[in-house]
């Protein structure tokens, strides 16, 4: 246990993806178990502000630094954790003296003690980054024996009979981490170097955490990792996800299971069937296509093509015609030509995806793409981002309009303050990224209700729906 002090109040600020949300709730669980009091960051009064940073792309890095600077204005001690801190460590500390400490993942198991040090004015040596892929064996099946010795954020929630996690909101949906790290070597991505090699959590631990989340009022869990399609390969079963998700759908109190972060090249027919046809599992496919030109994909160190990706979408829709499909694409990658862009446009047009994020390529420290020839200038990349953003805005709006007349099941997530409407998400809509459903005439509905509704209109990717019935819990 940490040494006592008169005031030990901590506020957590989380940036980035849902994986970071899980990590923050694990840190919150560790800190409360260690006697720290969690306070709302918006209400002030914290002795320490813990900023869980994102280090994925330049815009995310900037947001993280801006948040750290703003936190320092509060008068509280400021501690940086998360991906930016893990990736840059002492370099970040030197360039950002406003942060009282920069802690890496290896500090998480003793986080309360390190925050005590900060609060008492004791120097905490800044994290020194290493390539975290080197901390575990190359062979995935050898990792389970070594993994307990390596800090794996989001894997520390199993704590005897308890779950070492504290919810930071009351939402009826929560992320549930099934694995961490990645073994892929995409030429544009630095994530494996600071998140490490791929490690699965055991099914027993995941199911136990899902059951605990249900006691916290959660009705939907969405499974997160750096690469969910690799789940189980280090446990000796490459089809483990096909078994896990039906088991999660049987957990009492969990009414919807959503799978995120699927690699198209690893999405096998059995997994497609399990997601598309299992009751209680959202027929939702978050597929990381990134591009569809075979030439660009090879330079990205990825696999696939326009036609193979369209074949995968056909497999999905043969099983579930109304399934939700989303992706992200990168334009402006080194060497990308107008022919490559035409292939990407063909894929997006014929694929009829529900949501698409468009990103412009940017160099990332330590990646192979940093050294590739054929770099495009910033103005060209910005023009391509604008062009494809306009295209996908039109295409996804058309896809939403096609849903008019369908029935959807909406999880109510918040009520509108000024009228009788409420807002939630259907099975084809993931939190934060895929649009939402506005439920009209929602008198009597409350947050956490599952409502069967009819789609009557659309606004961009958002749907306007009218309730038919509330489904039993």
- Residue 437 annotated as binding site: no
Q: Tell me what the mean pLDDT of segment 198-219 comes to.
A: 95
Q: Tell me what the mean pLDDT of segment 162-173 comes to.
A: 89
Residue 370 is classified by DSSP as G
Q: pLDDT confidence of 162, banded at 50, 70, 90?
A: low
How far apart are the C-alpha atoms of 79 and 117, rounded to whole Å? 11
pLDDT number for residue 13: 94
Beginning with the edge strand found earlier in the chain, give each strand of the sheet holding 324-331 in spatial order. Answer: 284-286, 324-331, 355-360
How far apart are the C-alpha atoms of 156 and 25, rounded to whole Å? 11
Q: pLDDT confidence of 156, banded at 50, 70, 90?
A: low
Tokens 């604008």 belong to 386
Which of 174, 167, 320 lies closest to 255, judged by CA?
Answer: 174
pLDDT number for residue 325: 98
Residues 122, 41: contact at Cβ < 8 Å?
no
- Residue 83 annotated as binding site: yes
CB-based contacts of 160, cutoff 8 Å, min separation 6: none
Asked if pLDDT for residue 57 goes beyond 90, the answer is no
Which of 4, 15, 5, 3 lies closest to 41, judged by CA?
Answer: 15
3-state helix, strand, coil in the chain (%, to 5): 40, 20, 40
The per-residue pLDDT for range 80-133, each reduced to its tens digit, is 999 999 999 999 999 999 999 999 999 999 999 999 999 999 999 988 999 999
Quote the tokens at residue 424. Answer: 């939630």
| Helix or strand (DSSP H, E) at 176 | strand 173-177
**Residue 129, CA distances (Å) to 67, 77, 103, 135 in order:** 22, 23, 10, 12
Domains in the chain and their CATH numbers? 9-128 (3.40.50.12160), 138-402 (3.80.30.20), 406-471 (2.40.50.140)
- Residue 54 annotated as binding site: yes
- Residue 422 annotated as binding site: no
How far apart are the C-alpha atoms of 357 and 388, rounded to whole Å? 10
Round the CA-based radius of gyration of the chain to a whole number and report it.
Answer: 22
The per-residue pLDDT for range 225-279, each reduced to its tens digit, is 999 999 999 999 999 999 999 999 999 999 999 999 999 999 999 999 999 999 9
SS3 231: coil
Q: pLDDT confidence of 2, banded at 50, 70, 90?
A: very low
How far apart are the C-alpha atoms of 232 and 228, rounded to whole Å? 9
Q: pLDDT confidence of 154, banded at 50, 70, 90?
A: confident
Residues 323, 376: contact at Cβ < 8 Å?
no
- Residue 189 annotated as binding site: yes
Asked if pLDDT for residue 56 goes beyond 80, the answer is no
Beginning with the edge strand found earlier in the chain, give each strand of the sheet holding 220-224 in spatial order. Answer: 173-177, 220-224, 256-259
DSSP codes, 450-466: EEEEEEEEEETTEEEEE
- Give the Cα-Cα-Cα angle 153, 254, 199 (nearest 5 degrees): 25
The per-residue pLDDT for range 268-318, each reduced to its tens digit, is 999 999 999 999 999 999 999 999 999 999 999 999 999 999 999 999 999
């Amino acid at each position: 246990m940490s040494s006592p002090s008169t005031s030990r109040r901590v506020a957590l600020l989380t940036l980035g993806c849902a994986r970071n949300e899980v990590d923050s709730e694990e840190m919150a669980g560790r800190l409360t178990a260690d006697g720290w009091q969690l306070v709302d960051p918006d209400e002030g009064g914290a002795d320490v502000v813990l900023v869980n940073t994102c280090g994925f792309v330049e815009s995310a890095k900037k947001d993280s630094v801006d948040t750290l600077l703003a936190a320092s204005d509060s008068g509280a001690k400021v501690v940086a954790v998360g991906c930016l801190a893990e990736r840059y460590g002492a370099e970040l500390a030197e360039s950002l003296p406003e942060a009282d400490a920069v802690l890496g993942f290896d500090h998480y198991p003793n986080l309360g003690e390190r925050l005590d040090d900060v609060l008492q004015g004791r120097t905490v040596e800044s994290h020194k980054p290493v390539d975290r892929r080197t901390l575990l064996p190359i062979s995935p099946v050898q990792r389970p024996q070594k993994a307990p010795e390596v800090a794996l954020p989001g894997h520390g929630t199993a704590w005897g009979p308890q779950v070492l996690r504290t919810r930071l909101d009351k939402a009826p949906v929560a992320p549930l981490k099934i694995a961490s790290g990645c073994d892929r070597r995409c030429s544009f991505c630095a994530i494996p170097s600071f998140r490490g090699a791929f490690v699965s959590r055991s099914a027993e631990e995941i199911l136990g955490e899902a059951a605990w989340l249900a006691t916290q009022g959660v009705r939907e869990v969405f499974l997160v990792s750096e690469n969910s399609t690799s789940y189980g390969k280090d446990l000796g079963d490459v089809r483990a996800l096909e078994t896990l998700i039906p088991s999660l759908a049987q957990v009492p109190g969990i009414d919807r299971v959503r799978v995120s972060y699927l690699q198209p090249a690893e999405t096998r027919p059995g997994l497609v069937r399990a997601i598309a046809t299992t009751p209680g599992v959202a027929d939702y496919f978050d597929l990381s296509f990134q591009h569809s030109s075979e030439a660009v994909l090879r330079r990205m160190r990825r696999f696939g093509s326009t036609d193979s990706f369209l074949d995968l979408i056909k497999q999905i829709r043969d099983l579930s015609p109304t399934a939700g499909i989303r992706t992200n694409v990168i334009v402006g990658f080194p060497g990308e030509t107008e022919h490559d862009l035409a292939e990407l446009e063909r894929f997006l047009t014929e694929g009829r995806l529900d949501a698409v994020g468009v990103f412009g390529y940017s160099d990332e420290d330590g990646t192979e793409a940093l050294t590739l020839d054929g770099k495009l200038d910033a103005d060209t990349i910005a023009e391509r981002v604008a062009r494809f953003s306009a295209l996908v805005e039109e295409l996804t709006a058309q896809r939403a309009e096609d849903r008019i007349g369908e029935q959807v099941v909406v999880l109510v997530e918040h009520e509108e303050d000024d009228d009788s409407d409420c807002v939630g998400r259907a099975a084809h809509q993931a939190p934060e990224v895929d649009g939402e459903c506005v439920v009209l005439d929602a008198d009597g509905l409350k947050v956490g209700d599952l409502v069967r509704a009819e789609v009557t209109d659309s606004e961009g990717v958002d749907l306007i729906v009218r309730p038919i019935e509330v489904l039993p819990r």
